[in-house]
C-alpha cells in the first residue's frame, strides 16, 4: 500500500514539473505576434523612410555637383581656346559664312562660337643638318574653330549614349605645315584639313570684317570630319531669355542682334549656350547653363525657379590675345 502511495506522489510531481517546463517553452500566441508586428512596423517604417530620403538627397546632390563641375570645366576649356583667337565672328559674320561651315545643312545643330586662331604646333617640323641636339622645330598654323549647340534627335533610341538635352561639340579646321628648305628641313610636311582655306586680307577694298565675312571653304568636307562632343546635359528648357548684349558692350556701334550669337536659332532655345561678341576688340562673353535635373528626371526636367539649383550657370568674358597677319 505504501509503495502505491509513493508511486502516485512521484508521478504527480513529475507531471507538474513537466507541465511547468512545457509552459515555459511554449511559443508566442497570435495576439503577441500581431502586437510585435505592429510595433516593428511603427519603428522600422520611419527608419526606412529616413534612409530612403538620405539616399535620394545624396543622389540629387551628386547630380548637382557633377553638372556644376562639367559646366565650369567646359567653360574653362572654351575660354582657354578663345584666348588664342585673332578674330571672332559675331551674328552678322556667322550669317555670312554659315553655308561654308561644317553641318551647314543640318537642322539639329547650330554654330554658336566661330573664330580664327593662330595655333601653336610643338615639334611639327623635322630638321636636317642641324648642329644642336634639337631635331624638330615648332610651328604656327591658322585654324578655324566652331562650337556647335546640338539637339538630341534620338530621344526614343535606347542605344543613344547622349542625354535628351543639348550638348556642345567642337570642330577645328586647320591649315597644313609646309617644310621650308631655308630652315634645313627634311622636306616633310603636313597637309591642311579638307575644306580649309586661309582668309584673304590682300583685297584692296573692304574693312577687316568684310574681308573675314567673305571667307569660303576650299573644296568639300569629308564624311570622316566630325565635331567632338565637349559636354552633355546643356539645358534645353524653352522660353528663357538671354541677356542684352548692349549692356555687355555698350560702346559697340552694332545692334544687340548683331552682337549676340548664335545667329541662326532655328527651333533652338539659345539661352543655354550663347555669347556676346565684340569683333572690334576681339572679345566675347560666354554664357552657359546645365541641367542636373535631367540626370534624375529624364522626362520632367524643364526649368523652374523653385528648382533653379539644379540648373548651374556660368559665364566668362575672354579677350583674344592673337594678332591677325602675324607670321
Q: Residue 95 and residue 263: Cα distance in Å, rounded? A: 6
* Mean pLDDT to the nearest integer, 11-35: 61
> Has residue 43 got a pLDDT over 70?
yes
d(CA 322, CA 286): 18
Q: Give 315's DSSP letter.
A: E
DSSP string, 161-227: -S-SSEEEEEEEEE--B---GGGTB-S--BPPPTB--------SSS-HHHHHHT---BS---TT--P
8 A C-beta contact, residue 174 and residue 192: yes
- 143 touches 175 (CB < 8 A): yes
Average pLDDT score over residue span 231-238: 92
- Indicate the average pLDDT of the chain: 82
Question: 319 in helix, strand or coil?
Answer: strand
pLDDT category at 181 given cuts 50, 70, 90 is very low
* DSSP result, 239-297: SPPPP-HHHHSTT-SS-HHHHEE-S--TT--TTSEEEEEEGGGTEEEEEEEB-SGGGT-
Which helix or strand (DSSP H or E) is residue 228 part of? strand 228-234
User: Could you tell me the pLDDT band of residue 189, with boundaries at 50, 70 and 90?
Assistant: low
How many angstroms from the chain centroid is the CA of residue 164? 13
Sign of the CA dihedral running 172, 176, 182, 185: positive
Averaged pLDDT for residues 283-307: 91
DSSP 98-152: GGGSTTTT-SSEEEEEEEEEEEEEEEEEEB-S-SSS--EEEEEEEEEEEEEEE--
Please compute the mean of the pLDDT values over residues 177-195 and round it to a whole number.
66
- Neighbouring C-beta atoms of residue 286, cutoff 10 Å: 23
CA 135 to CA 259: how far, in whole Å?
46
CA angle 145, 147, 149 (to 5 degrees): 160
Residues in the chain: 327
Predicted pLDDT of residue 39: 75
Residue 168 contacts residue 230 (beta carbons within 8 Å): yes
Q: Which residues pair with 234 in a beta bridge?
A: 166, 290
Mean of the pLDDT values across residues 220-229?
A: 93
Q: Where residue 186 falls among pLDDT bands split at 50, 70, 90?
A: low
pLDDT confidence band for 158 (50 / 70 / 90): low
With 60 as the cut, is the pLDDT of residue 198 above it? yes
- What is the rounded CA–CA span in Å between residue 101 and residue 114? 9
> What pLDDT does 116 receive?
96
C-alpha cell recorded at residue 235: 539645358
pLDDT value at position 314? 95
| pLDDT for 217 | 94
Answer whether 279's CB lies under 8 Å from 249's CB.
Answer: no
Please calculate the CA angle 233-304-287 and round it to the nearest 5 degrees.
50
Considering only CA atoms, which of 174, 180, 111, 152 is closest in space to residue 236? 152
| Closest by Cα among 243, 311, 272 to 67 | 311
pLDDT of residue 240: 87
Amino acid at each position: 500500500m505504501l509503495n502505491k502511495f509513493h508511486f502516485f506522489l512521484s508521478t504527480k510531481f513529475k507531471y507538474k514539473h513537466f507541465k511547468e517546463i512545457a509552459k515555459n517553452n511554449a511559443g508566442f500566441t497570435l495576439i503577441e505576434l500581431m502586437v510585435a508586428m505592429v510595433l516593428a512596423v511603427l519603428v522600422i517604417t520611419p527608419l526606412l523612410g529616413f534612409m530612403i530620403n538620405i539616399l535620394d538627397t545624396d543622389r540629387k546632390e551628386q547630380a548637382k555637383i557633377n553638372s556644376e563641375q562639367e559646366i565650369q570645366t567646359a567653360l574653362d576649356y572654351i575660354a582657354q581656346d578663345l584666348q588664342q583667337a585673332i578674330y571672332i565672328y559675331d551674328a552678322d559674320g556667322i550669317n555670312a559664312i554659315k553655308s561654308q561651315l561644317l553641318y551647314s545643312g543640318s537642322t539639329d545643330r547650330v554654330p554658336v562660337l566661330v573664330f580664327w586662331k593662330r595655333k601653336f604646333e610643338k615639334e611639327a617640323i623635322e630638321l636636317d643638318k642641324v648642329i644642336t641636339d634639337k631635331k624638330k622645330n615648332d610651328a604656327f598654323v591658322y585654324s578655324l574653330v566652331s562650337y556647335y549647340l546640338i539637339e538630341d534627335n534620338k530621344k526614343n533610341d535606347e542605344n543613344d549614349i547622349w542625354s535628351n538635352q543639348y550638348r556642345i561639340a567642337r570642330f577645328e579646321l586647320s591649315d597644313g605645315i609646309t617644310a621650308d628648305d631655308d630652315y634645313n628641313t627634311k622636306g616633310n610636311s603636313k597637309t591642311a584639313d579638307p575644306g580649309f582655306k586661309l582668309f584673304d586680307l590682300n583685297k584692296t577694298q573692304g574693312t577687316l570684317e568684310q574681308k573675314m565675312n567673305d571667307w569660303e571653304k576650299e573644296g568639300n568636307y569629308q564624311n570622316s570630319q566630325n565635331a567632338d562632343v565637349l559636354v552633355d546635359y546643356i539645358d534645353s528648357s524653352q522660353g528663357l531669355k538671354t541677356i542684352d548684349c548692349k549692356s555687355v558692350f555698350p560702346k559697340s556701334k552694332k545692334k544687340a542682334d548683331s552682337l549676340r550669337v548664335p545667329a541662326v536659332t532655328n527651333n533652338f532655345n539659345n539661352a543655354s549656350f550663347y555669347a556676346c561678341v565684340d569683333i572690334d576688340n576681339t572679345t566675347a562673353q560666354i554664357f552657359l547653363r546645365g541641367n542636373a535635373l535631367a540626370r534624375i528626371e529624364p522626362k520632367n526636367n524643364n526649368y523652374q525657379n523653385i528648382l533653379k539649383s539644379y540648373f548651374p550657370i556660368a559665364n566668362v568674358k575672354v579677350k583674344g590675345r592673337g594678332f591677325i597677319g602675324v607670321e
